[in-house]
Amino acid sequence: MPLLTIENLPGPPVPVPTGTTLLAALHRAGHDWPHACGARGRCTTCRVQVLAGAENLTPPTASELRYQALGRLLPTERLTCQARLPAGEVLARVPEAAKLPHVAYLG
């Protein structure tokens, strides 16, 4: 099964079932992850910074491309509510702007 590792969150890598968004996989694994728009790709609160394995993710959606064009999403960031991981592994981290105040992040 594909795996998502968030280097600054405690716990093991997150399995990402086929067809599941990264956000759904993170929630299923018990992680509190922001998603102000209800996971509809209408904001950037669920962003993740991809450090390795970006080629294993599905191509950016229209929402992600729009936010990149507006400068609200960096080229190395993806929206967890839009990105899926059909195979392989991804190493990522929670960017400072997306951190929740009540979550204990590593490093």
- CATH code of the domain covering residue 78: 3.10.20.30
pLDDT at 17 over 90: yes
C-beta atoms surrounding 62 within 10 Å: 9
Domain of residue 31 covers: 3-98
Could you tell me if residue 70 is inside a domain? yes
- pLDDT band, residue 38 (cuts 50/70/90): confident
pLDDT at 34 over 90: no
10 Å CB burial of residue 102 (0-12, 13-18, 19+) is exposed
pLDDT one-digit tens code per residue, 48-61? 999 999 999 999 99
Please give the average per-residue pLDDT across 77-89, as a whole number: 97
- Measured distance CA(77)–CA(51) in Å, rounded: 9
Q: Domain count for the chain, please give it.
A: 1
